[in-house]
Structure 1
Amino acid sequence: MKKLFSSVALMIGVLLTSLAAAQNTSNAGLAFDTPWVRASAPGQKNGAGYVQIQNKGSQTDRLISATTANVGRVELHTIINENGVAKMRQVQGIEVPAGAGATLAPGGFHIMFMGLNAPFKAGEIVPVTLRFEKAGEVNVNFEIKPATHNPAAIEQNTAHKH
C-alpha cells in the first residue's frame, strides 16, 4: 500500500511539473512593457489600455481578445484616418511578429474597455487577461495613470533634450 501511494504521489508530481512547464512554455517569448490606462474623467464610461508587447519567440503570434472584470465588454481597436478624420474601428486581432512585437499606443492599436461599472482611478491596477492564438491566456496588470498622462509628450520632450 505504501509503495502504491508513493507511485501515485510521484505520478501526480510529474504531472503537475509537466503542466507547469507547459504553461510557462506556452507564454515563452512574450514580454509586456508598461501596460497602462488613463484615469477616467467624471462621467466617462469607456477607457483604453496600452502596452508594448515584445515577442522574443520564433513564431509570430496574434492577440485575439482581452477580458477584465467590471466592464460591459472589451474590444481590440485601432484608429484609422478617413478623409482627414481619425475614427476608431474594432479589429479581430493584432499581429505580434516574431523577433519584434506590437505597440498598443494612443492614436493606434489599443484595448477598449466599454461600459465601465466604476471609473478608473489613478494609482490603481486593472487586471486584464490577454488571449493570444499561440501563447494562450496571459494575465497582465495595467497601471491606471492620471487622466493627464501623455507618453507622446514625454517622449517628445526627451527627444528635444538630446
Structure 2
Amino acid sequence: MTRRTTALSAAVALAAALALTGCSSDGGKPELKVSGAFMPQPVMDMAGGFLTIKNSGDTADKLTSVTSPLSDDVQIHETKDQKMRQVKSFDIPADGELRLERGGNHIMFMALKNKPKQGDKVSVELHFEKADPIKVELPVEAATHNPQQH
C-alpha cells in the first residue's frame, strides 16, 4: 500500500508542477516596444502610419486597434496582392515583431481633422488584446519618406 500511495503522491505532485509551469508561461505578459514610427505628410484627407512593435516577452499578443485625435476613424489594414483591406487585429508573436511598413500592413487614418505638416508629431494610442495601451508620437516626414529596413 505505501509504495502505491507514494507513487500516486509523486504523480499528483508532478501533474501539479506541470500545471503550474503551464500557467506561469501562459500568464507571462507580452513585453512590447515600439520603434521606427512615422507618418508621411498626407496629400489627401487620409494618411498612413508606420512603425514596428517588438515583443521580447514569451507571450504572443495582438494589435486590436489604434486611436488618435487626428481622426475618428483609424483603421488597421493588411496589404495582400497589392490590395488593402481592413482587419480586426494583427498578431505580434512571442519573441517576434509586427512591422507596419510602406507597401505592407499599416495604420490608415481616414477623414483627417487637419493635415499635419512635415516636422509635426501625431499622437496615437495602440490598443492590444493583452498588453496595456501604448502612446506613440508619429513624426510627420516628407510624403515620399521610406526608411530602408535592414
- Which category of TM-score, normalised to the shorter sequence, fits these structures? 0.7 to 0.9
CA RMSD, 1 decimal: 1.7
In structure 1, the residue corresponding to 2:72 is in which secondary structure?
Answer: strand
Large movers: runs of 4+ above 4 Å? none
Deviation at 1:59, TM superposition (A): 0.2
Q: How does 1:124-139 map to 2 (within 5 A)?
A: 124-139=120-135
- What is the TM-score with the length of structure 1 in the denominator? 0.71
For the pair 1:142 / 2:144, whether they are aligned, the reply is: no
CA contact (8 A) 2:29 2:58 kept: no
Structure 1 counterpart of 2:33: 31
Amino acid at match of 2:53: I
Q: Which has the larger radius of gyration?
A: 2
- Structure 1 residues 2-151: aligned runs within 5 Å: 29-41=31-43, 44-81=44-81, 86-151=82-147
Higher helix share: 1
Code of the residue aligned with 1:35 in structure 2: it is: A
* Alignment: residue pair count: 123
- Aligned equivalents of 1:117 and 1:138: distance in 2? 22
Q: Deviations over 1:57-100 (max 9, x none)?
A: 1100000000001313000101111xxxx211001100000101
Counterpart of 1:29, as a letter, is E
Write the letter of the residue equivalent to 1:39. Answer: Q
Unaligned 5+ segments in structure 1 are: 1-25
Q: How high is the TM-score relative to the length of structure 2?
A: 0.77
| Distance in 1 between residues matched to 2:109 and 2:146, nearest whole Å | 19
Give the counterpart letter for 1:123 in structure 2.
G
Structure 2: runs of 5+ lacking an equivalent: 1-27
* Contact 1:66–1:131 (Cα < 8 Å) also in 2: yes
